[in-house]
Amino acid sequence: MSITGLFLILFLIVHLTVNSMIVFDDTGVLFNQAAHFMATDPIIGIIEPVLAIGLIAHFVFASIITYQNQAKRTITYSGLKRYKQKDSSVGSTWTSRNMYILGAVILIFLVIHLINFFWKMKVSGDPLLEEATGLGGDIENAYALVTTKFIEWKWLVAIYVVGAIALGLHLHHGVWSAFQTLGWSNRKWRTIWNVIGIIISVIFAGGFAFIPLYIMIQSMV
């Protein structure tokens, strides 16, 4: 879990960097260039399936572990439910106890995300992609696709914000937990990883939520 998780964070860094081009250049040129590079670079081409495998592995491991772990306690504690003990799991965060649920939310989001963009760019195509980019050649206008989608369907923005928050919460526990599992932690580093985890989760949740919001707000003013 920890290794695949950390690997996926690498992907997130690249993805957020590319996406941020949307914000930095309103003409879309930067983003289109970056998207084109990502689509055509041979190294990226090799990494892509690895990423897919990493993601699937992360999901499969998570499912197996969650299923196994849940089977270890067949009778649950009644005291908790009956008397609504507030802090039933003192010392553990809500996110740490619900990583699988958060993961599932992210997965659902991911499917929507892929259908909306990845599928269109790679497989089915979309008229918006054909629009002129000003870069010449056969570079697709990914910028037009992305911005138009968010402007046309406001509910999509909401989905993206929820997805980003789920990702942030997932990372909030995921980062320090990954280092703990790898044994890369002690009393001091535990605090440091926790802080880093919070920073990372804020950056990713904030970043990924900001972009659709930015596009939407831009279109409204």
Partner 1 sequence: MDLTIKVWRQNNPHDQGRFETYQLSAASQDMTFLEMLDALNEQLIHEDKDPIAFEHDCREGICGSCAMMINGRPHGPEQEVTSCQLNMKAFKENDVIVVEPWRAQSFPVIKDLVVDRSAFEKIMEAGGFVDVDVSAVPDANTYPVGKDIAEESFDAAECIGCGACVAACKNSSAMLFVAAKVSQYALLPQGKKEGLTRAWNMVSKMDELGFGSCTNTGSCEAECPKGISLAHIARLNREFLKAGFHNLAAEKR
Closest CB to partner 1 among residues 176, 204: 176
CA-based nearest residue to 166, from 61, 95, 91, 62: 95
Whole-angstrom distance, CA of residue 126 vs CA of residue 145: 8
* Beta strand extents in 6-150 (DSSP E only): none
Select from 24, 42, 71, 111 the one that contacts partner 1 (CB under 8 A): 71
CB of 107 to partner 1, least distance (A): 18
Whole-angstrom distance, CA of residue 54 vs CA of residue 71: 26
Q: Report the site for partner 1 in 74-93 (rule: CB under 8 A).
A: 74-80, 82-83, 85, 88-93
Binding mask 4-33 for partner 1 (x = CB under 8 A): ------------------------------
Binding mask 39-68 for partner 1 (x = CB under 8 A): --------------------------x--x
CB of 145 to partner 1, least distance (A): 38
CA-based nearest residue to 10, from 36, 44, 35: 44
Q: Is 99 in the site for partner 1 (CB under 8 A)?
A: yes
CA-based nearest residue to 168, from 109, 106, 108: 106
Q: Is 220 exposed, middle or buried (0-12, 13-18, 19+ CB in 10 A)?
A: exposed
Cβ pair 106, 163 in contact under 8 A: yes
CB of 56 to partner 1, least distance (A): 20
Closest CB to partner 1 among residues 19, 201: 201
Closest CB to partner 1 among residues 94, 118: 94
CA distance readout (Å), 37 to 66, 102, 114, 143: 38, 31, 18, 14
Q: Is 195 in the site for partner 1 (CB under 8 A)?
A: no
Q: Is 69 in the site for partner 1 (CB under 8 A)?
A: yes
CA-based nearest residue to 164, from 214, 205, 108, 103: 205
Q: Report the site for partner 1 in 155-194 (rule: CB under 8 A).
A: 173, 176-177, 180-187, 189-190
Site residues (CB under 8 A) for partner 1? 65, 68-80, 82-83, 85, 88-93, 96-97, 99, 173, 176-177, 180-187, 189-190
